[in-house]
Structure 1
Amino acid sequence: MVTNIAAYHFTPIARPEAFADEIRERAEQLALRGSVLIAGEGVNLFLAGGAEAIEAFLAPLRADPRFAGLRVKYSRSAQVPFARLKIKVKPEIISFRRPGTTPEDARAPTVAPHVVARWLEQGHDDDGRRVVMLDTRNAQEVAYGTFTGALTLPIDKFTDLPAALEPHRDALKDATVVSFCTGGIRCEKAALWMQAEGMDNVLQLDDGILGYFEQVGGAGYDGACFVFDERVALRPDLTPLVDDAADAA
C-alpha cells in the first residue's frame, strides 16, 4: 500500500534554490514521486511512496524550526499516483498575484472541520448567522464535487477569483463566509485577500477539503474532491475515485 501526503507551509525561505536541491536529493534517495513547489514564502508538496520513506522524508522538515506546526494530510492508494518526481522553484507556492496574501505574521481566522460540519447540520453558525461555503477552486475541480449549496465561481485559475467574487460581495455581508479549497493553501490566501478588502466576515476551512474528509468524512459534501495526480479525485473516505474506472473495465 502506498502512502500519499499533501502539505503546505508558509515560512520565509531565504534560498529557495538551495532548499529545492536538498528536497530533491532526499526525495530521490527515498524513491518518492510527486511534486514539490518551493518559493520564498514556503513550500507546497504532494508526494507518494512507502510509509517508512515518507516519514523519513518528513522527519528533517519537522525538526526544522521554520516548519514547526507543519500539518500533513495522509491518504492511501494501491499504486503510486505520480509518474515522476518534480521539484520546482516558483515566485509563489500557489499563484495568486495579490500583495499581502502571504501569512507573514498571522494566518487568516480558521474554523475547524467539526465546527463547520455542525454549522451545516444546524443551518447557521453559533451566532445564528447563515453560513456560506465559498469554493475557491476552479470549475474543473468543482465538477467532481463540492459542499452542498456552496457558492462556486466560474473561474479557470485561482488568479480569476477576485473579479469573479466581486458581484457577490454585497450578498455576502450578512453571512459567515467559509472559504475552502483542496488542502487549505488557496483558501488561506483568499481569506487574507478578502479580509484586506474589507470582508471581515470570512473564515478559512482549516486543512481544506482533504482535512475535512480526514476528520469529519463527507457530512454536507456532495461528490468527491479533485486531486492533482492519477487518482483524479478522492471520495470522502479518502479512497481514489479512479477505482470506479478500474471496476468498470
Structure 2
Amino acid sequence: MKPYRVLLYYIYSPIENPDQYRDEHHRLCLELNLLGRVIVAAEGLNGTVSGLAADCEQYMATLHADPRFAGIDFKVDESDVHAFQKLHVRTKAEIVHSDLPVDPLRQTGIHLEPAEFQRMKNDPDVVLVDMRSNYEHAVGKFSGAVTFDMENLRDLPDHVHELDHLRDKKIITYCTGGIKCEKASAYLLSQGFENVYQLHGGIIKYGMEAGGEGFDGECYVFDNRLAVPINEVNPTVISTCYRCGTPTSRLINCASPACNNHVTLCDDCGHTHEGTCTDACKEDPNRRPYDGTGYYSKQTQSYSPLQGYKSRQGQHGPLV
C-alpha cells in the first residue's frame, strides 16, 4: 500500500460565512500537512488534496463530523508522493465556475451509482454526455459519448442545441468527480430535457467501484499526475502523440511557459523535443527544464504552505 492518499470531493451545502470558514479550513489543512486546492463558497465546498494516509483519514473524519459536510463522498486514491506542490484554500462565488442559472439543491439530474450507470450505459435509449473541457475528453472518454468543443462549463449554453435531436433519449451526464454534472444536469432540465441522469462520483468513482469498463483512454486530473488510468477491464488508448502521431495517453504541459498547452506526447518525443509541442516552443528562451513528467507548478517566490494563511492573520488572529 502506498503511503500517500489523494482525495477528491465536493458538497453543495450552505456555508453562512465563507470567508471565516475559509480560514478555519486552511488552518486544518496546515495542521494535517495537506497540499492541494480547496474552494469555499456560500453554496458549498470543493476540494482535491493529498497527504499521508493518517492525515487524510483525520481530514475526512473532521469534515464528516461537521453536520454541513456529513454527506461528503470522498474519492480516495493512493500515491507514492504528494500529488500537489502547494496549498491554496480560496473563497469564490461558486465551487465550480459555471455562471449557469441553476441551484443543485433545488433540482438536479437523477444520481446513478457506478453499478447502476454500468447497467444503463449501453441501453440504446441512453446517451452519455461528457461535461468536461475539450482537452480533458481528448485524452479519455466513455465509448460513444457526446462531447462538446468547450473550454469550460460556462460554454455549455452555447452547445446545448447539439443535443436537441436527443430529447427523447435518457441522457446521462458525467465528469471527473461529479461536481460539474450537478449544475450541468440541472441546466439540461431547465432547458426542457426530461430524462436526465448523472454519474454520481464521476469517472473516478466509476473506475474505483466498477473497474472502469467502457472508458477509453485515461482520465485528466488536476494534480501532478495529469492523467490516470481508469479502465481495468478493457483499456484502450484513444489519443495520439501531438508530435509523431503514435498512440499514447501520456499527457503533458508544454515546457514553454508562453504556451503551456495540454498535449499528449509519447515518451520518445517528450525527450527528443524536451517537453514541447512545437519547434517554436522548443526555441523559447524561457523554456522550462523537462523532467519527464511534463507537469510544472506556477513559480511563487518564497512560497510556504503558511503563506496564504499569514496574509489573513491580521483579520482573524494568529495561527495557534
TM-score strictly above 0.5: yes
Q: Distance in 2 between matches of 1:40 and 1:83?
A: 27
Deviation at 1:39, TM superposition (A): 0.4
What TM-score results when the alignment is normalised by the length of structure 2?
A: 0.71
2:10 matched residue in structure 1: 8
Aligned residue for 1:3, secondary structure, equals: strand
Please state if 1:185 is matched with 2:179: yes
| AA partner of residue 22 (structure 1) | E
Deviation string, structure 1 residues 153-212 (Cα, Å, up to 9, x no partner): 00011100121121322x111211100000001011100111111111110111111111
Please state if 1:142 is matched with 2:144: no
User: CA separation of 1:163/1:202 partners in 2, compared to 1, >3 Å: closer, same or farther?
Assistant: same
User: CA separation of 1:88/1:50 partners in 2, compared to 1, >3 Å: closer, same or farther?
Assistant: same
Q: Determine which structure has greater relative contact order: mean sequence separation of CA pairs < 8 Å that are 6+ residues apart, divided by chain length.
A: 1
1:54 matched residue in structure 2: 56
Aligned-CA RMSD value: 2.3
| C-alpha contact 1:235 1:241 (8 A) present in aligned 2 | no
| C-alpha contact 1:34 1:48 (8 A) present in aligned 2 | yes
Q: Distance in 2 between matches of 1:32 and 1:161?
A: 33
| C-alpha contact 1:231 1:241 (8 A) present in aligned 2 | no
Q: Distance in 1 between matches of 2:12 and 2:148?
A: 26
What does 1:167-178 correspond to in 2, within 5 Å? 167-169=162-164, 171-178=165-172
Aligned residue for 2:128, secondary structure, equals: strand
User: CA separation of 1:81/1:59 partners in 2, compared to 1, >3 Å: closer, same or farther?
Assistant: same
1:195 matched residue in structure 2: 189
1:27 corresponds to which of 19, 26, 29: 29
List alignment gaps of at least 5 residues for structure 1. none
Deviation string, structure 1 residues 124-157 (Cα, Å, up to 9, x no partner): 1xxxx52111000010101110000100000011
1:232 matched residue in structure 2: 226
Please state if 1:218 is matched with 2:204: no
| AA partner of residue 145 (structure 2) | A
Decide which structure has greater helix share: 1
Please state if 1:109 is matched with 2:110: yes
2:66 matched residue in structure 1: 64
Q: Distance in 1 between matches of 2:199 and 2:174?
A: 5
**% of aligned pairs identical?**
34
Aligned residue for 1:177, secondary structure, equals: strand
- Higher Rg: 2
Deviation string, structure 1 residues 104-134 (Cα, Å, up to 9, x no partner): 24543112211221233xx31xxxx521110
Q: Distance in 2 between matches of 1:217 and 1:41?
A: 32
Q: Distance in 1 between matches of 2:11 and 2:57?
A: 17
Q: Distance in 1 between matches of 2:107 and 2:167?
A: 24
| C-alpha contact 2:108 2:185 (8 A) present in aligned 1 | no
Deviation string, structure 1 residues 33-62 (Cα, Å, up to 9, x no partner): 000001000000000001110111122210
| AA partner of residue 30 (structure 1) | L
What TM-score results when the alignment is normalised by the length of structure 1?
A: 0.90
Q: State how many pairs are aligned.
A: 240
Which of structure 1's runs of 4+ aligned residues deviate more than 4 A? Answer: none
Q: Distance in 2 between matches of 1:154 and 1:194?
A: 17
